[in-house]
Amino acid sequence: MFAIALLMVSARGSAQVVQQTKQGLKFSAQKLDIQIEFYSNNIIRIFKTPAGIPYTKKSLSVVKTAQPTVVTFSKKGKNSLVKSSEVQVEVNPETGGIIFYDSSGNLLLKDKDYGTQFSLVEDAGTNLYKVRNGFLLDKKEAIYGIGQVLDNKFNRRNSSHHMQNENMSTYSPYFQSIKGYAVFWDNYSISEFKDNPQELSFEGLGHCSDYYFMYGKHADGVISQVRDLTGKAPMLPLWAYGFFQSKERYHTQDESLSVLKKYRELKVPLDVVIQDWRYWPEYNKSDSAWNSQLFDAERFPDPKKWVNEIHQLNAKLLIVTWPGFGPKTEQRKEFDSKKMIINFDTWPPNSGARPYDVFNPEALDIYWRYLNKGIFSYIGNDGWWLDSTEPDHINIKKTDFNLPTYLGSYGSVKNAYSLMHNKGIATHQRAVNDNKRGVILTRSGFIGQQRYGSNTWSGDVGSTWDMLEKQIPAALNYTLMGIPNWNSDIGGFFAGRWKDGGGNKNPEFQELYVRWMQFGTFSPMMRSHGTDLPREIWNFGDRGTWCFDAQEKFINLRYKLLPYIYSTSWDVSHNDGTFMRPLMMDFAKDAKTHEIGNEYLFGRSILVAPVTKYKAKTWPVYLPEGSNWYNFWTNEYLQGGQVAITETPIDIVPLFVKSGSIIPFGPKVQYSTEKRWDNLEIRVYPGTDGEFVLYEDENDNYNYEKGKYSTITFKWDDRLKTLHIQAREGNFSGMLTTRKFNINVINPNQKLKDKHVNPTKEISYNGKKIELKF
């Protein structure tokens, strides 16, 4: 189909042949067969196998196929060079070394000379390889990613990680560089990541070394390439950005209903209640019917009525399901009969529960068939809590990792377990009901999982101040892998340490819970959950006490920000944006931001610096150079490039707004869709030009994918002090045709000491362009 040119070069006294293919190169070196293929101008696949042993790889993560890409070929001394419009790749046919440059010839990354090794091993009775690939980075080059690692570090240089997905540890073999590129080593085995002054390396089990080099020029560009390669992130429904309440566990349908009713009586906003484990019949204490996906007739006598009542109270229900099944369940019997069980002990202990083989497509079908019949199509729940998606592994035996799965030994595919389990639920649900957006809360993840609308939480973390502190850089590194949805148990899961000191009324635990809730307010999902102590707001005191009032303040703030958050969700889905943005994403030129993992932008405008110490009266906040900043609470105007010492009484978390920002604020509500957005405050923060796109749609279906949505673009011209509200674009069923905007241009010269510093202009808007001079 196309000409193959043969380039002959001398290497160690023998002829080395580099073949030009349509979009790359093929050559052999160091007993390896190596293929380089441009998937686009920015994405290059490097595929290596032992010489003469071809292997066809079908990726679990990658959905992109190579697109027609114009490349050119040339020589660079003894080496061969292939270029697209964005990236140049140089190969050394003698050593197997590969060097990546940008289009201007600036060095990005080196795949080491002699840096790839294959060592033959026996794995589950078959031949496999221990595969290792080494890279060379600049000495001071900061990198991020690797996964959710609870070690309180942000920059991943000079670190080592045993990449084995377990409760509280979620890894993917991926790193992103401050230089604007990323590497995804497409391997699902239990692996090793090491970075030291000599090299960075990945090592794991496989038939090949298969990685993708992605160049985006900056962090946003990298994430765009990751999503192009492994899948876009769909929008979640509006209600998924409200407040979630759960605990381990609500024992009856009446208990969870009473919780929802009390929130409504107190007029504290709430959108979602979650039903945790053991709603199924418990035949005996051994949990032999674990995860039967059926409701206990005594405790849940009418589950359809239960869900209907939740919906009548304008709330939603997430319900838990696990990947393991007790021996007395019908699911387990069918999986056993078809050899679709991975035969190791999973949670709960001594129950005989075993996980199913998620790597078998038929097993995914069977799992959904029971789940749909027993729950989804039966009661009409609104989403899923997929617990233990690593999955839990107890009474571990070394031989467990050699157990067979549909795709090979368990150890060779383990880290993709959550990816495949989430895939099974998400794709089957959409096939059954295309009018309800999928919402999945899951305890693990892997690159590619973003395409299923999954929101990973950090696992069963302890209720401590140091664990709260560790959540922030862990979340930021996780989202830098291109997976935008992340959250944590507000207050931490295990709170037993506080029981003897007064429990929910212990002042330190109350303060920890409030500070964690402030962090949760500015996370993609705001969810209260835990064991040992109940977490519903009234358990901390009555309205009028500091702990109740501080919680209520931030729950209300979350709902006021819903227009901003939902528009950010559109930015995430449509523009490959990111909810939790480390400072290095927007201020890479400020070298100080390269190491800061305890602050971030929530969306593109609001800088958040969670308080993570007990009795902190003030908190240092670094304001990046490249912008000026407004204190959200006082409107004080500060220059970037400095540390601001910020007062932090218990009901204040440091928040700063980037100059040039435009932020919409919604009405006070009890749930996300209680009131229409027909009277929004539009707050403008001068200092530089700015733009914001207000997004609206039908809130909970996939019609937005068919173009059923609207956008209104606000542009601030700082020199002319003029706000341009552009003509509305698009439409959808039930769209507002007229509305009010209350425009509030913040005065940068005065602190907010009285209500008249920043008077608003109220305008009517009917979809046509408006220009406002200030």
Active-site positions read 387, 390, 460
Closest CA to 78 of 60, 57, 54, 95: 95
Give the tokens for residue 199: 């090299």
- 379 sits in which H/E element: helix 377-379
CA 218 to chain centroid:
19
Burial of 102 by CB count in 10 Å (0-12 exposed, 13-18 middle, 19+ buried)? middle
Overall residue count recorded for the chain in this entry: 774
Mapped to the 3 state alphabet, what secondary structure does 247-316 carry? CCCCCCHHHHHHHHHHHHHHCCCCCEEEECCCCCCCCCCCCCCCCCCCCCCCCCCCHHHHHHHHHHCCCE
State which amino acid sits at residue 153: K
Residues 6+ apart with CB under 8 A from 732: 696, 697, 698, 703, 704, 708, 709, 710
Q: Would you say the C-alpha torsion 341, 345, 349, 355 has a positive or negative sign?
A: negative
- Give the residue carrying structure tokens 């070690």: 151
- 574 sits in which H/E element: helix 562-575
Determine what percent of the chain falls in helix, strand and coil, rounding each to the nearest 5: 25, 35, 45
CA 664 to chain centroid:
24
CA distances from 481 to 277, 448, 464 (A): 30, 9, 27
CA distances from 261 to 270, 505, 582 (A): 10, 23, 38
DSSP 615: T
Residues 6+ apart with CB under 8 A from 500: none
Separation of alpha carbons 622 and 476, rounded Å: 17
Closest CA to 55 of 128, 130, 114: 128
